[in-house]
Structure 1
Amino acid sequence: MLLHSPQLADGWNSLLGAIRGRLRLPPDIRELVILRIAVLNRAGYEWTAHEPEARAAGLSDADLAELRRERPDFDERRRRVIAYTDAMTRDVHVCEGTFDALRAHFTDVELVELTATVAAYNMVSRFLVALDVQEPPLGATTAVPPEEVDQ
């Protein structure tokens, strides 16, 4: 879909390439956030695209199942990340207490990167859902490289 606008595709790939591969935010947290947003925004394509990356980053079957629950039961650090992701996704506004709770677990740089990741993947999921981008059928092949599958 993005290739209908090459200029948009170029900027999109730059932003998401940085988020996926050039930040200090740990990969397990990045993928936890992406999959949680996929659940909240009912973006099945996004889940399908990122589940393998989440597994490679160390998320287990139990973790993936937990992400689909209304109130996932994780350790304190992940619970706070989920609370922040949920607030940004559902309400946009994040109360001070939710943000401050993250400070014990992340540096200022990581907090900025976490916020950018949540914001960017809300953009991705909303783009996919609005344009009704469907999950590929099982066993289907695609010409899109795996590292760019969520575009």
Structure 2
Amino acid sequence: MARIAYADPAQPDLRAAAETIRNSRKKIGHLHRMLLHAPPIAEGWIAMFDAVRWNSTLSGKIRELMMCRVAAINDATYEWEAHAPIALQEGATQAQLDTLHDWQASDAFDATERAALAYCDAMTLSVHVPESVAAEVRALFPERQLVELTVTIAGYNCVSRVLEALAIKGTDALPDA
């Protein structure tokens, strides 16, 4: 059970933010129902993550592999369950998802994916990225995509931390809205 009750999107002061979420996601799920407790944050969240997911030039496969790797590192089951199916739709293989927890020992990833995963690990596990890891991704990704990769990893670390801190598991029943 989540640490606090989910917000009611039908509340008058939450309707505008709820509509922003519906316009983007078609429904209001567990995470967004929780974010509605802070309407400006909920609306800003949607704007940022819409940009990360839909307005990035980063490949969908790389984007979703990064999201899943962050979820794996942070043990964020809800995040993993949301993004693993999308990763497969975007071209990741089941073998990649099966070995993502120990990607360094797997031959399922190409050089670009390995560089991005090393960057993801450095950002997620130690925050400070070693120059050798940064140099690898800089050589493989144009500047815009390097920023997009960085923000994707950082953003989904934020997602997992919100999910886990508030114990949002996606198994709680949501009231009708």
Pairwise CA RMSD of aligned residues? 2.0
Aligned counterparts of 2:61 and 2:95: Cα–Cα separation in 1: 14
The answer to whether structure 1 residue 127 and structure 2 residue 151 are counterparts is no
Distance 1:131 1:26, change over 3 A: same
1:75 to partner: Cα distance = 1.6
1:103 to partner: Cα distance = 2.3
* Helix, strand or coil at the partner of 1:25: coil
Q: State the aligned residue count.
A: 142
Distance 1:25 1:143, change over 3 A: farther
Structure 1: unaligned runs, 5 residues or longer: 145-151
Q: Which of 49, 58, 64 lines up with 1:31 in the alignment?
A: 64
Identity %: 44
Aligned counterparts of 1:5 and 1:52: Cα–Cα separation in 2: 29
Amino acid at match of 2:171: P
Q: Structure 1 residues 72-81 or 15-24, which shifts more?
A: 72-81
Larger Rg, first or second structure (1 or 2): 2
1:70 to partner: Cα distance = 6.0
The answer to whether structure 1 residue 66 and structure 2 residue 99 are counterparts is yes
* Helix, strand or coil at the partner of 2:159: helix
Structure 2: unaligned runs, 5 residues or longer: 1-33
The answer to whether structure 1 residue 82 and structure 2 residue 82 are counterparts is no
Q: Structure 1 residues 127-136 or 112-121, which shifts more?
A: 127-136
Amino acid at match of 2:147: V
> TM-score normalised to the size of structure 1?
0.87
Corresponding residue for 1:47? 80
Moved over 3 A (4+): 140-144
Corresponding residue for 1:14? 47
Deviations 1:97-144 (A, max 9, x none): 10111123210110011001111000000000111111438xx89979
> TM-score normalised to the size of structure 2?
0.75
Corresponding residue for 1:147? none
State the structure with bigger RCO (CA 8 A, min sep 6), 1 or 2: 1
